[in-house]
Each structure stands twice: as structure tokens, then as C-alpha cells.
Structure 1
Amino acid sequence: MHTSARNQVRPKDHNARRARVLRRYHGVCYWCGSGGASHVDHVHEVADGGTYAEDNMRPIHKDCHREKTSAARRARAAGKPLRITLRD
């Protein structure tokens, strides 16, 4: 099994952080605004210098996560930052 470079630097308490973020935001997806999110995303991607700090993590649906990741890749390829407005 391959472990990505990103996962090799993941903090040991990542699962606990993930659980706290899901609870703090009541599972509301920061991308679409609907409830029921079970994934957690780095708002500012680790690949773009984002951190594993909880204030950089938000709940997100699996499909929304794919959409956001694709948008971030397109923005990175175009040399432009992905603009995200957080709902807190």
C-alpha cells in the first residue's frame, strides 16, 4: 500500500482533530452549506502551504471534496489562488 507524502506528515492526533472539526461545525459542509458532511478538508490545501491546524479544517461532503480539489488544481495550474469564502 502506498502512503502519500501528505499523509506521512499528518499529525498523530489527526483523527481527533478531524472529529473535533466535524462536531464544531455540526457536519455542515463548508463548500455547499448542507448538513451530513463526513469528510474534513483543508481549506488552504497542504500542497499550497496550508497547515493541519484545526482552523484550516472544515467539514465537507465526499462529492464536494472532489469538486473543491478539482477547482484548486485548475486554479493552481492557472497560477491563480482558489478564493474561498468561509461560513462560520
Structure 2
Amino acid sequence: MPMLSTKSLFHRVRPYLSFEYLHATMDNNLPIAADNGSIDFLRTEGRTPIIMPKFMGSVGLTYTAGPLFLNTSIRYTDKQYSTF
């Protein structure tokens, strides 16, 4: 996950930007057992795995005062799936 930040601005404030791109696909069809005991396959080849967002990112600010600091950020997570 790349992260971009700057030196402290105004001696105490530091903005940052973080992002991630994930391109994941399933390489095979998943085998399952049918009711009669035979093996069948779910057509999952080439689909996105469950709970895998394509994009994630955040923008934030860090405020530093001596040994103390305050961090605030906003995060974005792209859509995710919970079933095949």
C-alpha cells in the first residue's frame, strides 16, 4: 500500500495520502459435493473473491506538539461481496 506524506507544514501539521489497488481473481472453479455424493463445480473461475475490495484509500492529517500527536483520517473502501 503506497503512502505519500510531506514534511511538517507550519512546524506541526503533516498531511498524508494512502491508497491501494487490488486486482484479485479466482483461478479455478470450486469443487463441491452434490446431494448424491458426486463432485460438482461452482463456476467461480475469473470472478473476484469474496470480501476483496478493488480500491481502498485514506487521507489524513497529523498534528505534532512535542511528544504528543493527534491523527485524523478519512478512509474509503470500495464495494465488497459476501457470496459467490
TM over 0.5: no
- Higher percent of residues as strand: 2
- Higher percent of residues as helix: 1
Larger radius of gyration: 2
Q: Which has the higher contact order (CA 8 A, sep 6+)?
A: 2
TM-score (norm 2): 0.18
TM-score (norm 1): 0.18
